[in-house]
Amino acid sequence: MSGLDLRILEGTPWLAAAGLLLAAWLAWLVAGRIGVRILARLAEASPTHWDDAMLQHRVPQRLAGMVPALVLLGGMAYVDGLPELVRIVVRNVSFAWLAIAATLVVGGALDGLNTLYERHAGNARERPIKGYLQLLKIVFWIVAVILVVAALINRSPLVLLTGLGAMTAVLLLVFKDTLLSLVASLQIASNDMLRVGDWIEMPSQGADGDVIDISLHTVKVQNWDKTISTIPTHRMISESFRNWRGMTESGGRRIKRALLLDQTSVRFLDEEHRTTNLGRFRAYITDYLRAHPRVNQDMTLMVRQLDPTPHGLPMQVYCFSADVGWVPYENLAGDIFDHLLAVLPEFGLRIYQQPGSGDVTAAMDGLAAAASIPRKA
């Protein structure tokens, strides 16, 4: 019986090779559809989170992509009679396929690790690891490319590695941005210069908003108009930007605004003590801010005069709100200056305002009335 079997297989290597290809395709089909579904159900039933992250980044599907290459590599040993060139081509292509599929699996696993870290690590916003994981992915892809090229040209990877020395200048040119971004990422992380969620301003890049992502090559900022600015990571080191995190963490947001007073309205209130209405108004503002419940009393609070200008005498309010939120901050600043503008006439002071069309019209009406000359409509 064994002799009959040998005679049947003898002279049919191409049929055996076709059967091997069919087996590889069937193995991929079973692993990609049935195996992945089984793993998905197991992950849903599991109380752990790492398997959910792996599913989210399609690690099981990528593992299924390795199965056909493994079947071909293992099955070629049992197919005799094929030309040596065909065996080498199938083996090398299968190995290259396996290297690429394995790198995809590693990349998905690293993405899953980053997802786990961002969801469950308490300091994920302060210490993101996405840039480091992306660097690892680049290293794995470099190794995979070397293995794939070596397999396709049927040479040892060591031969390619020895030739890399002569290509150092070319590699440095190709990976210049990656190297710059790597150095920038290390400096940003070590100096705690930037975190996800920070409000930054970078006028040179047109960015003004919250940082939503920090990766090896780019920093993404969602501006206040909901547009997204993408900034190369190395620009965060080579160019200046303003980070408002210190304001957020301090518990106070600065209010620094001035009223422009008409200097001709300043006068003495008390001939004996020579007290001025301007001094009384300044003291009133200070007391008003000291008693305001929404003003931070633990931070600098003062009312001061600035240098007189042709546009009036600036009376500046300098204090900090107790709520650093944008809307509460603007509401507080508006309430303070609404009150000051309303109470200003009680001190005999006036706001300086350049004449507008209404002022000119009123003046002309006054002159016309005084001269008893009717104006034309």
DSSP code for 325: S
**Tokens standing for residue 113:** 């690790």
pLDDT at 325 over 70: yes
Confidence (pLDDT) at 5? 41
Answer whether 290's CB lies under 8 Å from 282's CB. Answer: no
Confidence (pLDDT) at 358? 67
> Could you please report the per-residue DSSP string of 329-340?
HHHHHHHHHHHH
Of 40-54, 211-225, 287-301, the one with minimum mean pLDDT is 40-54
Place 8 in a pLDDT band, splitting at 50, 70 and 90. Answer: very low
Q: Which residue bears the tokens 């350049």?
A: 354
pLDDT at 340 over 80: yes
Fold of 251-347: Alpha-Beta Plaits (3.30.70)
pLDDT at 254 over 90: yes
pLDDT at 342 over 90: yes
Q: Can you give the pTM of this predicted structure?
A: 0.57
Confidence (pLDDT) at 133? 83
Most confident of 37-46, 183-192, 328-337: 328-337
Q: What is the pLDDT of residues 36-78, one digit of tens each?
A: 788 778 777 777 777 777 877 888 888 888 888 888 877 777 7
Phi, psi at residue 290, to the nearest 5°?
-65, -30
Rounded average pLDDT over 8-20: 64
| Domain definitions of the chain by residue range | 2-174, 192-246, 251-347
Average pLDDT, the chain: 82
Place 4 in a pLDDT band, splitting at 50, 70 and 90. Answer: very low
Place 2 in a pLDDT band, splitting at 50, 70 and 90. Answer: very low
Instruction: Provide, rounded to the nearest whole percent, the portion of the chain with pLDDT above 90.
Output: 28
Domains 192-246 and 251-347 share a fold: no
Give the residue among 87, 81, 74 at the shortest CA–CA distance from 9.
81
Domain 192-246 has CATH 3.30.930.10: no
> What distance in Å separates the CA atoms of residue 29 and residue 8, rounded to the nearest whole number?
29
Place 165 in a pLDDT band, splitting at 50, 70 and 90. Answer: low
- Please name every residue paired with 268 in a beta bridge, in sequence order, or none if there are none: 276
Confidence (pLDDT) at 373? 53
Q: What is the pLDDT of residues 91-145, one digit of tens each?
A: 888 888 888 889 888 888 888 888 888 777 666 666 777 777 888 888 888 888 8
